[in-house]
Structure 1
Amino acid sequence: MTKLSVNVNKIATLRNSRGGNVPDLLKVVSDIERFGAQGITVHPRPDERHIKYQDTRDLTKVVTTEFNIEGNPIDQFVELVLETKPTQVTLVPDSVDAITSNAGWDTIAHKDFLKEVIQTFKAQGIRTSIFVDADTRMVEGAANTGTDRIELYTESYAKTYVENKEKAVLDFTKAAEIAHSCGLGVNAGHDLSLDNIAYFKKHVPHLLEVSIGHALICESLYFGLDNVVNMYLNKLK
């Protein structure tokens, strides 16, 4: 089945809004794994408005499943990843002041930069993934950087799913097929939810992992975290 990696940024946002340690990020992460999730994702940003750099260090002592750290590979981020040595690092080209990730890499224009960063991480045994749009040129470009995987940026799918789900998923199906033919693993994430994940899973081949945070936490307000994690797991079988 496709693995579920839960992005816990929103847990940290809630904690930071009042100071202190409620909710306890480390406990929540342990619970999410106990509920059945196969991975934990964090996206530390330079302003530390949700996940703090120290959170990432602390989580290395807690996470027992796959640990995925995503972010823009600025020097501070690269140093953090090399220090913590997660299972996977996902490179995302978000600006310092971005509210959330909003674009994939231009893997052709940034080929040399990405290749250098990826070599640095892979030399330490860290699996690498590049955040890309569902554009076959960008997927093919990713294959030339030496990355292990891509993560398909799924906002456009989520936005158009209700209007025309067949059209919404088409580019992602093609991108996943191209990635697989290039020897790349396929991950996906951004605005995937209980409403649209099953259709995506059914129509996007070779899907190894999805990273879901915002929707999952929001849905948990109604259904409970344990229930929601297992609802996703059932849809990903």
Structure 2
Amino acid sequence: MTDHDSTYAGDFVRVATCYTATEAHVLRNVLVSAGLDPEVADANMAQMQPWMTVAFGGVRVLVPQSQVASARRAIEDYEAGRLVLPGGDPAPEPFATLPAPVFSIDRAALLSFALTPLFGVAVQIFNASVIGPSAQRLGHWLWLAFFLVATPGSMVLLAAGNPGPFIVLRAALSLSIFTGAWYVFSAQKQSRQLLTVYGPAYRKRSLLTPAIVAALVAMALGQVWSTLD
């Protein structure tokens, strides 16, 4: 026993109301593990006539008057998930919060197969600037430099055989294997970092506007390219 007299700890007081006997007994065990002396009332009634549970006030969890404060603290810790079983794993650390929304690098990678991998790398570099030093990599800039050379080079090779207004799209498709390699060896690490550190519900920006702008630029470049040819 913790904060109560061994002979008399006061009248019993309700500290929780449950709507099933099972829930009440789980809560009772939580309080027992905290060194208190809880009792469950009306559990039999709830089991015999479950449709009447609300009418008669639910299944009550009671503790002696002197233990009410300790019981409420234990219940609060239980409901907040702060209790850990002996020998169990500690509660996971809460996810961090991004200083500002970022783009989904996975969606950007998919769009890169049509908008060229330059689009995906640009999104990756923007995200890294928001996340901070832990996400900034020299490799991001090396991939950007590679695609700044590979994308125009692919356009030149394709235009020599079959020029047309969709030259940028065709160049993006021709670089698909390199786009895939970039995602596996670079972008995927950022995706994992976002999920691990900030959780699946991390703050996201919409890619709609950047994707539309990139598509319009690609179409305009294709039209200019076809005119030059």
Structures share a fold, TM > 0.5?
no
| TM-score when normalising by structure 1 | 0.22
User: Rg larger in 1 or in 2?
Assistant: 2
Instruction: Please state which structure has a larger fraction of its residues in helix.
Output: 2
Instruction: Please state which structure has a larger fraction of its residues in strand.
Output: 1
